[in-house]
Structure 1
Amino acid sequence: MARRRVNWCVIGLFLEILGLVLWVGGLLVIIGVVIPAVFNSFGMEPAGRFLRRVFDGYGYMNLGLLGVFGICAGLRFRTYGIGGATLWALSKGELGLLAGMFLVTTGIMGVLGPQAVALQELAFEAVSKSEKEMAYAEFFRVHMIVRGLHMVNLGLAIGLLIIKLRRMVVHAIRPDIALSPSTDEGSSVNGGTQ
């Protein structure tokens, strides 16, 4: 009996899609379920501290997922190049979205996140009402930027997931069509020929 080889591209694609589902689903669950439940159950200060831990965990998960995405993209680039005509080739769109996700995530985790945490602690430790108001105003200014960046990151992850799923569907429906970025992912008539 012949021994079957493992198709590492399929495993990599599975890991990428699973990671993107975790990325998108994780933030949607935090926004839609965790934040309302926490603020309806605790006071502002304990809820803020708890959510800080939740978003730290989410950020570390995203950094780990970026590592997985980077390894898979590197292997796909090494094997198939950029913009090739196969399902497994790395597209320029994927590369751009990955770069954007990396920049936004490292910006949140490395720069703005620690700054927001420090401002949040100042607001919690402020004694007088005027100090507390000023500290909260500064915290919420940075917090709004971080929230906006999380939404940008969510959009980038959804875009990357759409690209991957679209390529899979096009390849499953018409495997004879060469997936080419210049022909709208190979959706032209007659197998991409004119």
Structure 2
Amino acid sequence: MEKFENVSGVAAPMPLINIDTDMIIPKQFLKTIKRSGLGVNLFDEMRYDDKGNEISDFVLNQTAYRDAEIIVAGDNFGCGSSREHAPWALKDFGIKVIISTSFADIFYNNSFKNGILPVVLPKEAVDVLMEDAQKGSNARITVDLENQTVSATDGTEFKFEVDPFKKECLMDGLDDIGLTMQKVKAIDTFETEYGKNMPWV
């Protein structure tokens, strides 16, 4: 997993509440176990019509937001079934940060494990950032994980809380496998000693 670096870029406004994982990546795309290639199907049923043509008024199909790295969303983002493909699709599209007043717990935790920072802010702050995001490519929101701040285009700054361990993992680029590999010497030592003491196993 790549180390998380500060993000300063265009934010896509998605003021819908209860954006669930089936909206993020519909069930027909869950057959793959690869983390790449799902970005094209992100929000598939909202982005494309029945013939596969882009729906022009969907935010990620608009020129200003095609390269968005941040989503500013309504309440309860990532609810629904606990599919890890949802953060995979967001990450593959290029989304690095999602800002909302609340997230579903499983999606929230899966996001950290897949290199995405979910930022929880009060409604008043999200409203300011949503309005900023609606200005299109003329607006750039900055997210500083080290200092735990989100800044609007005009410099208005909001502090956010994040679990120290999750923060460290994101900044160091450590997913579950990476965390395990940090202990590889201890694991090897244990296996060697275990084999000596219990050779019949």
Same fold (TM over 0.5): no
Structure with greater proportional helix content: 1
Between the two structures, name the one with larger relative contact order (CA 8 Å, sep ≥ 6).
2
Q: TM-score, normalised by structure 2?
A: 0.27
Structure with greater proportional strand content: 2
* Structure with larger Rg: 1
